[in-house]
Structure 1
Amino acid sequence: MPDPRTAPQLGVFLTPDAERLPAVRELARAADVAGVDLIGIQDHPYQRRFVDSWALMATILAETERITVFPDVANLPLRQPAVLAKTAATLDLLSGGRFELGLGAGGFWDAIEAMGGPRRTPGESVDALIEAIEVIRLMWSGDRGLRRDGEHYRLAGVHGGPRPAHPIGIWLGAYGPRMLRVTGHRADGWIPSLGFADRDTLRAGHRRIDEAARDAGRDPATIRRLLNVSGVVLPAGEPSRELQGKGFSSGAFAGDPAAWADRVADLAQDGFDGIVLAFAEETVDQVRRWGEEVGPLVRERLG
């Protein structure tokens, strides 16, 4: 598990809303300037009001200078892994190594099937994910004549490449016992969401990942742990509160920068080395408070 004494990175989770594209791009640029470390973009191609997440990520990378961008998480059933690997490597090369790959086994199967994708059982979706990780890494190797047989994906002599600008991490959105074992065995990171899992479940997830990593001969500390959270960053001095009701996921929180710094430090004690905030209100002020006010306080507490 990562060292809880190290200050975690801060990220923002942005919605690829077609009707708010200028605002989304402005938020990304504000995050880059405010010192935020990561931008996560959800990938739900079947959402009629969303633009394509990959085209948006390319635009954000072109309009920023230092921030890392990743899909949070890529929808594997609608993204063929060999092509996904080439797209990820291309974004990494164009941005000078500022792209990482969040990857999910799939969900919302009615919507996936309606868009022409496969409907998979839980077991099939994990099997496909395991195969996809192998395909992606083979494609990143740049080797020629790549071949592999699989139930869901195969390579039949394709030439890999290009190689990414840096070793791209594959971070899995994982919750079930088998997915957590796959994370420990094969992945570079874990990115669950608070609300889909409570704190006790997340702690148990860390233990499963650590055990699987050790079984595979890996150091658990090499596996990144990022957590999606949701909430509001209030002006300094305003009282904190839990956010409940329509529009808020379980665990949503409203607090001023000092309260958020305490909350992030607490989550770091649980083993997370990155906190990605989905704002209840996506505004530039929220992004700036997160990066410019919460960030320094977190580093003061844990750095």
Structure 2
Amino acid sequence: MGDYGHGIEFGVFVTPSAADAARVVALAELADAVGLDLVTFQDHPYQSRFLDTWTLLSFAAARTERVRLSANVLNLPLRPPAVVARAVASLDILSGGRAELGLGAGAFWDAIAAMGGPRRRPGESVDALEEAIRVIRALWDTGERRGARVEGAHYRLDGAARGPAPVHDVGIWLGAYKPRMLELVGRAADGWLPSLPYMQPGDLAAGNARIDRAAVAAGRDPAAIRRLLNVGPDATPEDLARMALEDGVGTFILMADDEGAVRRLAGEVAPAVRELVAEGRAGGGAGDAREGDGAPAPTRSATGRGAPSPGPGGEYERLGVTPTPDDGTRVGSVAPWDESTRPRREPSPPDVRYTRRGRLVGQHLIDVHDTLRRELDELRDILRQVREGAVGAGEARSALNEMALRQNDWTLGAFCARYCGVVAQHHGLEDDAIFPHLVRSEPGLAPVIDRLADEHHVIHDAIQAVDAALVHHMGDPGDFSRIQSAIDLLTDALLSHLSYEEREIVEPLARHGFYPGQIRDA
């Protein structure tokens, strides 16, 4: 972690609005003219208001001379990797070595399915992305004479002809936030490309650490993996220099569709950041680019804890399943509840042993929660798109209504009935079956279960508040404060609740199962 010594680069992240296509291309031309390094476009093929990203990249390459171009990031489920490999190589040849490849595992699965694409679970989407990288690299490897072969559950090559090869080493950059995706970056990618607005303080360092461990385990040099970051227009040179020196970010990509912001980035921000980074690397420090000098300190939860332990005692180490910790960071100004009043269960005895199925049951709850966390990221992205005019409040409401966040009404049983294969097969399971089963199996869990149920109601109300804020926005399109406050409250409530629930009941689920007899029958 820290400074990886990469050269500092700057780029722009432009919304590919079909209604303003000439301006979109003009921003790419401007970035080229003022000396930026990179132009990127988001890729949402199901969004009818957007230009097709690959067509736009090709057109922009023809209208520019030196700037490199990439999707930020390409929607893999709707773009077959073998075709992507040929398209990227072709653009690289035609543009004189200016194509890069940002890839994403996919999101907005209802919209993807509506376009005829696959609907993948989180684990499947990561597996598919890893297979896609193998496909792309195999087709670019023209030094091998034999046809390319890849055997995968989602993608395969059966002796496909290789080539054409790109004319430069195209970087494969992954948009990644969760552990498995970060580990994939370390094993197989050339760069990590997250967006700062969707991250919490400490996420860059934690992500780098996971990437670095995966890279070392794969026999790779962590410093060979470039760290890129999408940033908002309010980031100061001191902020960016600090992230370069402390978090290893080498490429900063401005999320803005404003000509003035692009000119400021090239003429003012980029030179200042490069100067501060050069001073820091020379041993002179980064000046004001130090935490505490203008950098907001992370807010802490009511418990006063920074990063609480993953569970009572050492039981989760024995279980071999790790709940997602809550680092106490909050984005909103209103606390959803008093965390200091949360009950805690007694740790399990040290002689408890777990079956393989028990471990899978405990891990499944975390996997379910990861789906909800991913949907929260999608919801925050929708808000960004509303702000940028890419989608309207009505479309945002429709997306919210389709999410599991809204549909499962915050009963764990209903969510498992929809997503958990084991529980879905148990047709008699009612929405509220799991919590009562745990209390019957372990009466001491009752206070925890009652608190979790109470928090479900708060989260349900928070989701309703987001919907109401979207309705309000339709009548007052210039006011984003209510939407932002509602989504911030939902973010704080959801992330806090999911971590608390995992800490308290993943281990009991591993011992007792979702329903009577489940673990005993393993």
Q: 1:7 and 1:148, CA in 2 relative to 1: closer, same or farther beyond 3 A? A: closer
Q: Tell me whether 1:78 sits opposite 2:78 in the alignment.
A: yes
Comparing 1-10 with 162-171, greater Cα deviation is found at 1-10
Alignment partners' CA distance in 2, 1:46 and 1:4: 37
- Deviation string for 1:242-282 (max 9, x for gaps)? xxxxxxxxxxx26xxxxx21121011122110111101xx2
Q: Secondary structure at the match of 1:120?
A: coil
Alignment partners' CA distance in 1, 2:73 and 2:258: 22
Per the TM alignment, residue 6 of structure 1 is displaced from its structure 2 partner at its CA by 5.5
2:249 to 261, 272, 289: 272
Alignment partners' CA distance in 2, 1:64 and 1:213: 35
Matched to 1:273, the amino acid is G
Q: Tell me whether 1:211 sits opposite 2:213 in the alignment.
A: yes
Q: Tell me whether 1:302 sits opposite 2:277 in the alignment.
A: yes
2:238 to 256, 262, 266: 262
Query: 1:37 aligns to what?
Result: 37
Structure 1 contact 90–162 (Cα < 8 Å) conserved: yes
Instruction: State the structure with bigger RCO (CA 8 A, min sep 6), 1 or 2.
Output: 1
Q: Tell me whether 1:285 sits opposite 2:285 in the alignment.
A: no
Q: 1:5 and 1:181, CA in 2 relative to 1: closer, same or farther beyond 3 A? A: closer
Matched to 2:244, the amino acid is A
Matched to 2:224, the amino acid is T
Q: Tell me whether 1:159 sits opposite 2:161 in the alignment.
A: yes
Per the TM alignment, residue 36 of structure 1 is displaced from its structure 2 partner at its CA by 1.0
Query: 2:3 aligns to what?
Result: 3
Structure 1: which 5+ residue stretches go unaligned? 232-252, 255-259
Query: 2:423 aligns to what?
Result: none
Aligned length: 275
Query: 1:191 aligns to what?
Result: 193
Alignment partners' CA distance in 1, 2:85 and 2:94: 14
Alignment partners' CA distance in 1, 2:2 and 2:191: 11
Matched to 2:271, the amino acid is P
- Deviation string for 1:177-199 (max 9, x for gaps)? 11111110111100011122223
Query: 2:66 aligns to what?
Result: 66
Structure 2 contact 4–223 (Cα < 8 Å) conserved: no
Query: 1:19 aligns to what?
Result: 19
Matched to 1:211, the amino acid is R
Matched to 1:275, the amino acid is F
Structure 2 contact 43–53 (Cα < 8 Å) conserved: yes
- Deviation string for 1:3-57 (max 9, x for gaps)? 3665521110001100111111111111111111111110100001001000101
Alignment partners' CA distance in 1, 2:56 and 2:130: 27
Q: Secondary structure at the match of 1:111?
A: helix
- TM-score by structure 2 length? 0.51
CA root-mean-square deviation: 1.4
Alignment partners' CA distance in 2, 1:125 and 1:94: 31
Q: Secondary structure at the match of 2:227?
A: strand
Identity %: 55
Q: Secondary structure at the match of 2:97?
A: coil
Query: 1:97 aligns to what?
Result: 97
Q: Secondary structure at the match of 1:199?
A: coil
Q: Answer 1 or 2: which has greater strand percent.
A: 1
Per the TM alignment, residue 295 of structure 1 is displaced from its structure 2 partner at its CA by 1.5
Structure 2: which 5+ residue stretches go unaligned? 279-522
Matched to 2:266, the amino acid is G
Per the TM alignment, residue 115 of structure 1 is displaced from its structure 2 partner at its CA by 0.5
Alignment partners' CA distance in 2, 1:31 and 1:267: 23
Structure 1 contact 41–72 (Cα < 8 Å) conserved: yes
Structure 1 contact 184–220 (Cα < 8 Å) conserved: yes
- TM-score by structure 1 length? 0.88
Per the TM alignment, residue 229 of structure 1 is displaced from its structure 2 partner at its CA by 1.1
Per the TM alignment, residue 63 of structure 1 is displaced from its structure 2 partner at its CA by 0.8
